[in-house]
Amino acid sequence: MAEADSLETRDPLNTPVQYVPGVGRHWAAVLMRLGLTRARDVLFHFPRDYQDYTDLRTVAEFEDGALHSAIGTIEDVETVEYRGGRMRLGLLVRSGDESLRVTWFNQRYLVGRFQEGQRILVSGKAKRDGLRWEMAHPRFQILDEEEDEPTRGALLPVYPSTERLSQPRLRSIVQRVVADAADAVPEVFPPSYLDAHNLPGIGQAIRQIHFPENHDQLAAARRRFVYQELLILQLALAIKQQQQHTVGQAPALEPTAKIDARIRRLFPFELTPGQNRAIDEITADTAGTIPMNRLLQADVGAGKTVVAAYLMLLAVAHGFQAALMAPTEVLARQHATTLGRLLSAARVRQALLSGSMKSAERDEVKSRLAEGALDIVVGTQAMIQGDVEFANLAVVVIDEQHKFGVTQRAALRAGDRSPHYLVMTATPIPRTIAMTAFGDLDVTRIDDTPPGRQQVHTYLAEENERSKWWEFFCKKLDEGRQGYVIAPLVEDSDRLDVTSVEAAYEALCNGPLEAYRVGLIHGRLSSDDKEAVMERFRRGDIQVLVATTVIEVGVDVPNATLMTIEGGERFGLSQLHQLRGRISRGAYAGYCCVFAAMENDASRARLEAFRDTPGGFELAEIDFRLRGPGELFGTRQHGLPPMRIADLGRDTELLSEARRDAQQLVREDPGLASPDHRLLRAMVIRRYGKALSLGDVG
Ligand code: ADP
Ligand code: MG
């Protein structure tokens, strides 16, 4: 670490924990397991929570409707199930001479957390019900056995720890280290910066994040660390952006009335207001020479493809080329077909670039692209990002991209020009995440759907309802509809994956779907075979397609309105929603039935949310709540190290502030070269230098 260079005779930050008074060899070994070897590690081992005794009372002292905390002993634990899967968890807590009833509704994850005899701290709104006091949905903490009876007024830290190291012991170790070393931590911000941003100095912030005297102190300390973490991130992104901006200008593509009319004439339907708004935002960007970096977000079936087509045709109308990249061959071919249909009446030269083409064919397409003899190319991302050269590329569209961080952004260039980029996704990304992971990516949303769309009826079925479901499935097939069966997927094992989908296929052909034309598609088939199967499905030769998640994204067969999902517990919410999106594309209502081994409450909660929530955005927010933003949109997914203290779902305002400040800092001092910014720069490089290849700043 950079600070270690300035080691004087004794740097208190580097003191091995073993030599902290009261620690010794035994506890040092335990601390080591928490990753704490030196004093500075302990200083930055922040509490994960606090025990709040600032408003501690006995139940006898409660006031009706006020926020209170109380400590008591659990005397009874009770779980009550209601119809429709709802439930209530109740505790009877004895505190002094009185008792308090504590309740939670539908918080299944809490079941099993409580035992009679445990001491518990609860904080929440106290309500008087007849003779008894009640508290619903309080914050709570189970107290350690050796915990001293806390003093009123305190806010005690609760640390990430191990079973062997009790909170009181860890607390006293931290207390010593903080007293000894907090003031030795170098300050990254100049004093004037701290003042201007109303941030406590580093020593004070460390003391107060561990041992705040009240909520205000805690909030101020936390604010400093969150701000600092977000600022470092935003500085890294701003520097990256600055480096990229030197890459060159993009061609200006003005959507004149004439061009606009010419493009719209090709579409077989009127665009929705949402699609039109998206086109307005996109063309406002592309009319300028700063390369566009825009994310188009819309729920499955909202009609993103036609927006992409508009943009590509705009480039072609100005005499430039456009590329459309899809995540899979199946999708690339589908897009090529769709575009081919749209463009049959136009003089646009379009080609597919596919991995399964003969290499002579591929070379032919590539040389036509390089000569400028092709206007639009469609292919998989891998294909187009290969060694393809363009004569005059102006627009790149990346479809159904789920991993689209700064680190993943495709780098396609055409000479010294940079194209405009449009990234399309059905995965809703909260604004804060977009700002973080993409740095400079602007977001456009389409929030309506084409008219006449039917909702998908979703069921969560028990094993004994199978025959009933298949009966219904077959009845709809007889009416002329088509359907999918999504076979269970075994993680990380292609071979098993194929075996299970093949087994499902066999079982269906010899069982409930005996009388129907059934096809099979999975990732192990060659591209040509996959395409052949898809084509037969599109034509209706195949009535039911048994598939793995190859069809998860993008596949567009409006007559397919039925879906059976097996092994539903293995899918994430957004994946389930993507799957269901395949059957909400036409004028007929869709029916989706999920069979799942309900392993635990978490998977039940997820599947019930899927059943009850039709909208993708709403579902994503639930996913966000159930799993936490970390897993879903963690910076990790985007190739960046995870956040340590900031919560991207919650610290929105600080994120905006940090972003503004970072951009200003980098504008005023491009390489962060001034002595005032030396430490900030070192932190940026240390944390993000590698992930964002910021090489030449450091
Ligand atoms: P997604 O946003 O999931 O990629 P698509 O672009 O595949 O959606 O569009 C879904 C379906 O809706 C396609 O069959 C498409 O032709 C149709 N569609 C798109 N826009 C409209 C519209 N404005 N009016 C009617 N149908 C539309
Ligand atoms: Mg699509």
Per the listing, tokens 């028990």 go with 462
Q: State the pLDDT at residue 470.
A: 96
In this predicted model, what pLDDT tens digit does every residue of 501-532 receive, in sequence order?
Answer: 888 899 999 999 999 999 998 878 887 888 89
Ligand number with the minimum distance to the CA of 582: 1
Ligand number with the minimum distance to the CA of 448: 1
> Higher model confidence: residue 53 or residue 303?
303
CB of residue 562 inside a 6 A radius of ligand 1: no
Give the whole-angstrom CA distance, residue 591 versus residue 521: 21
Residue 2: which pLDDT band, with cuts at 50, 70 and 90?
very low
CB of residue 558 inside a 6 A radius of ligand 1: yes
Q: Which domains does the chain have, with CATH numbers?
A: 1-48+159-182 (1.10.150), 54-154 (2.40.50.140), 186-244+680-698 (no CATH), 257-446 (3.40.50.300), 456-627 (3.40.50.300)
Give the whole-angstrom CA distance, residue 97 versus residue 497: 61
Lowest mean pLDDT among 75-79, 228-232, 337-341, 553-557: 553-557
Angle at 210 between CA 209 and CA 213, to 5 degrees: 80
Lowest mean pLDDT among 1-10, 392-401, 580-589: 1-10
In this predicted model, what pLDDT tens digit does every residue of 648-663 receive, in sequence order?
Answer: 767 878 888 998 899 8
Lowest mean pLDDT among 309-323, 327-341, 418-432: 418-432
CB–CB of 486/514 below 8 Å?
Answer: no
The residue whose CA has the least distance to atom 26 of ligand 1 is 450
Percent of the chain whose pLDDT exceeds 90: 45
- Residues 284-303: what's their mean pLDDT? 89
CB of residue 95 inside a 6 A radius of ligand 1: no
CB of residue 229 inside a 6 A radius of ligand 1: no
The answer on pLDDT for 159 being more than 70 is: yes
The residue whose CA has the least distance to atom 5 of ligand 1 is 303
Three-state DSSP class for residue 442? strand
Cα 305 to averaged position of ligand 2 atoms, centre (Å): 6
Against a cut of 0.75, is the pTM above it?
A: no
> Higher model confidence: residue 417 or residue 179?
179
Q: State the pLDDT at residue 434.
A: 64
Ligand number with the minimum distance to the CA of 296: 1
- Residues 550-554: what's their mean pLDDT? 64
Q: State the pLDDT at residue 183.
A: 93
The ligand 1 atom at the shortest distance from the C-alpha of residue 271 is 23
Tell me the sheet residues that pair with 119: 73
Cα 44 to averaged position of ligand 2 atoms, centre (Å): 45
Cα 570 to averaged position of ligand 1 atoms, centre (Å): 29
CB of residue 556 inside a 6 A radius of ligand 1: yes
Best mutation site among 456, 556, 582 for ligand 1, i.e. most ligand atoms within 8 A of its Cβ? 556
Lowest mean pLDDT among 149-153, 192-196, 554-558: 149-153
The residue whose CA has the least distance to atom 9 of ligand 1 is 303
Ligand number with the minimum distance to the CA of 299: 1
- Residues 464-472: what's their mean pLDDT? 94
The residue whose CA has the least distance to atom 21 of ligand 1 is 450
Give the whole-angstrom CA distance, residue 467 versus residue 607: 21
Cα 554 to averaged position of ligand 2 atoms, centre (Å): 4
Across 151-155, 199-203, 335-339, the highest mean pLDDT is recorded for 199-203
CB of residue 271 inside a 6 A radius of ligand 1: yes
Q: Which of 427, 417, 113 is nearest to 249 (CA)?
A: 417
CB–CB of 478/523 below 8 Å?
Answer: no
The answer on pLDDT for 622 being more than 80 is: no
The answer on pLDDT for 385 being more than 70 is: yes
Ligand number with the minimum distance to the CA of 310: 1
One DSSP character per residue, 475-520 reads HHHHTT-EEEEE----TT-HHHHHHHHHHHHHHHHTTTTTTS-EEE
CB of residue 306 inside a 6 A radius of ligand 1: yes
> Higher model confidence: residue 84 or residue 31?
31
Q: State the pLDDT at residue 244.
A: 65
Best mutation site among 328, 447, 448, 585 for ligand 1, i.e. most ligand atoms within 8 A of its Cβ? 585
What are the Cα distances from residue 349, in Å, to 34, 268, 280, 375, 439? Answer: 61, 20, 25, 5, 35
CB of residue 324 inside a 6 A radius of ligand 1: no
Cα 361 to averaged position of ligand 1 atoms, centre (Å): 31
Cα 360 to averaged position of ligand 2 atoms, centre (Å): 30
Q: State the pLDDT at residue 149.
A: 60
215's CB contacts (< 8 A; 6+ apart) are: 54, 155
Number of neighbouring beta carbons within 10 Å of residue 121: 22
> Higher model confidence: residue 626 or residue 286?
286
Cα 308 to averaged position of ligand 1 atoms, centre (Å): 11
> Higher model confidence: residue 478 or residue 139?
478
The ligand 1 atom at the shortest distance from the C-alpha of residue 270 is 23
Per the listing, tokens 């995870």 go with 642
Task: Name the amino acid, one letter, at 285.
Answer: D
The residue whose CA has the least distance to atom 12 of ligand 1 is 303
Three-state DSSP class for residue 14? helix
Best mutation site among 277, 297, 306 for ligand 1, i.e. most ligand atoms within 8 A of its Cβ? 306
Which residues make up the environment of ion ligand 2, defined by Cβ < 5 Å? 554
> Higher model confidence: residue 65 or residue 598?
65
Residue 1: which pLDDT band, with cuts at 50, 70 and 90?
very low
Cα 165 to averaged position of ligand 1 atoms, centre (Å): 58
The answer on pLDDT for 618 being more than 50 is: yes
CB of residue 613 inside a 6 A radius of ligand 1: no
